[in-house]
Amino acid sequence: KAGVTQTPRYLIKTRGQQVTLSCSPISGHRSVSWYQQTPGQGLQFLFEYFSETQRNKGNFPGRFSGRQFSNSRSEMNVSTLELGDSALYLCASSLEIGLAGGDEQFFGPGTRLTVL
Q: Which residues bind other proteins (CB under 8 A)?
A: 4, 31, 33, 35, 42-43, 45, 48, 50, 55-56, 58, 90, 92, 96, 99-102, 104-110
Q: Residue 75: how many CB atoms within 10 A of its CB? A: 17
Q: Pairing state of beta strands 111-115 and 10-13?
A: parallel
Q: Which is nearer to other proteins, 49 or 81 (CB)?
A: 49
Q: Which is nearer to other proteins, 33 or 68 (CB)?
A: 33
Shortest distance in whole angstroms from residue 109 CB to other proteins: 5
Q: Which is nearer to other proteins, 66 or 110 (CB)?
A: 110
Question: In whole angstroms, what is the distance from residue 99 CA to residue 37 CA?
Answer: 28
Please report the sign of the dihedral spanned by the C-alpha atoms of residue 80, residue 31, residue 51, residue 109: positive
Q: Which is nearer to other proteins, 31 or 74 (CB)?
A: 31
Shortest distance in whole angstroms from residue 56 CB to other proteins: 5
Q: Rounded to 5 degrees, what are φ and ψ at 95? A: -75, -60
